[in-house]
Amino acid sequence: MSEQQALLPWLAAPLAQGLALRAHALLLHGPGAVGQFELGLALATGWLCEADDSTLRPCGHCASCHLMAAHMHPDFYLLLPDALREPLGWHGADEEGVRAGKAKPSKEIRVEQVRAAIDWGHQTMSRERAKVMLIHPAQAMNPTAANALLKTLEEPAGRLRLVLTAHDPEALLPTVRSRCQRLPLDRPPAPRALEWLATAGVTRPEVLLAASGGQPLEALAMATDGIDSDAWEQFPGAVRRGLAALVADWTLVRLVDALQKLCHDLMCLRADAAPRYFSAAVLAPLMQPRAPPWPALAQWAQDLTRAAGHDEHPWHAGLRSEALVGQGARLWQTARSRQPAASGPLDTLSAR
Ligand SMILES: [Zn+2]
């Protein structure tokens, strides 16, 4: 297999499984960043591969595999929200709706995009094997767009096969779900993920693998975005002290995500459960001399959910970061100010 198509090591087994399935519509589902997109591409490459020996597909050497690697295969169609084209490195300038200079790329797969894809599906096959449409992520289709796809999912034209990805199949219309054969893709075993991250140059990969909830692609994306293991471990202490300098270069999306994970883990510790995203050793000082009160944590969780729902405001990112970190720091101020009232009713509440 060529370097460009080097498969994530934990995808070999699900790829073999998927290639053996005969269904014309497959739904790849599992946690967000473990490689559904990469698996979808590999399946498409395998189905389109022109190697004589079917056990070697995708071979990485035939004309079809080269066309896939160059993002130029005429029998492959990628249906993506415009907002994902840049991050995934697929610039489908030929696709309707992608125009240079457009204000903000859409996070949705629009109905016009689906209609253009369906039209493509009815065109004659260019090469000999099949036609493949990859829809990533399928939950980006709004109900109108998803409904437009139903007939194609039910009876694809000619030798068209479809691959849909979703982190949560329940987020899809039942009519879409029921027309697809499912192929689950779970988090890879930690040793395999850690080895891959180390090879990719991530230092102390166990820190970022935990930070990403066991999703290696997300862990790598964090490192690429400048959040290394040291920064992740310094983050809880910086929040407590209200120091926004550490996160000055983080995007708001990353910052809110990190705050939500910190909030989650502090709640775990208050409930005598193990933290998930930070190590217990890193969090221990934050529970001294007294842990943040439970009601304050619950309120913080709600505020962060709201913050996560808002779009990024690039012009005010710096101020917004400071405000978010400051809000986190107040948790401990609350804990201090309530300390004298140790026997009051508030304390009973906060000790839960
Ligand atoms: Zn091939």
pLDDT at 345: 37
Distance 304 CA to ligand 1 centre (A): 47
Residues with CB under 5 A from ligand 1 (ion): 49, 51, 59, 62, 65
Distance 27 CA to ligand 1 centre (A): 23
| Sheet containing 76-79: order of strands | 76-79, 131-135, 160-166, 25-29, 181-184
Residue 209 to residue 10: CA distance in whole angstroms: 15
| Angstrom distances, CA of residue 133 to CA of 43, 107, 149, 222, 320 | 11, 19, 12, 29, 40
Distance 42 CA to ligand 1 centre (A): 11
pLDDT at 54: 85
Q: What is the DSSP letter of 287?
A: G
Contacts 24+ apart (CB under 8 A), 271-279: 276/210, 276/213, 277/210, 277/211, 277/213, 278/210, 278/211, 278/232, 278/233, 278/235, 278/236, 279/207, 279/210, 279/233
Distance 6 CA to ligand 1 centre (A): 13
- Tokens 């079917």, located at residue: 54
pLDDT at 334: 67
Distance 68 CA to ligand 1 centre (A): 9
Q: Is the pLDDT of residue 200 over 80?
A: yes
Mean pLDDT over each residue of the chain, to the nearest integer: 88
The strand ranges marked E within 172-305 are 181-184
Distance 64 CA to ligand 1 centre (A): 6
Token digits of residue 203: 């230092």
Distance 50 CA to ligand 1 centre (A): 5
Q: What 3-state class would DSSP assign to 141? A: strand
Count the residues in the chain: 352
Check: CB of residue 220 under 8 Å from CB of residue 33.
no
Q: Is the pLDDT of residue 341 over 50?
A: no
Q: For residue range 142-185, what is the model confidence (pLDDT) as tens digits?
A: 999 999 999 999 999 889 999 999 999 999 999 999 999 999 99
Distance 205 CA to ligand 1 centre (A): 33
Q: For residue range 203-259, what is the model confidence (pLDDT) as tens digits?
A: 999 999 999 999 999 999 999 999 999 999 999 999 999 999 999 999 898 999 999
Closest CA to 267 of 247, 290, 250, 292: 292
Residue 256 to residue 83: CA distance in whole angstroms: 19
Check: CB of residue 162 under 8 Å from CB of residue 188.
no
Per the DSSP assignment, residues forming a β-bridge with 25 are 162
Check: CB of residue 140 under 8 Å from CB of residue 108.
yes
Distance 13 CA to ligand 1 centre (A): 18
Q: For residue range 65-122, what is the model confidence (pLDDT) as tens digits?
A: 999 999 999 999 999 999 999 888 887 644 444 445 556 788 899 999 999 999 999 9
Q: For residue range 281-292, what is the model confidence (pLDDT) as tens digits?
A: 999 999 988 889
pLDDT at 268: 96
pLDDT at 35: 93
Distance 317 CA to ligand 1 centre (A): 46
Distance 44 CA to ligand 1 centre (A): 11
* Percentage of the chain exceeding pLDDT 90: 74
pLDDT at 313: 60
- In this structure, the number of other CB atoms found within 10 A of the CB of residue 251 comes to 16
Distance 52 CA to ligand 1 centre (A): 9
Helix axes 229-240, 252-270, angle to 10 degrees: 70
Token digits of residue 209: 């693998």
Q: What 3-state class would DSSP assign to 133? A: strand
- In this structure, the number of other CB atoms found within 10 A of the CB of residue 103 comes to 5
Distance 62 CA to ligand 1 centre (A): 4
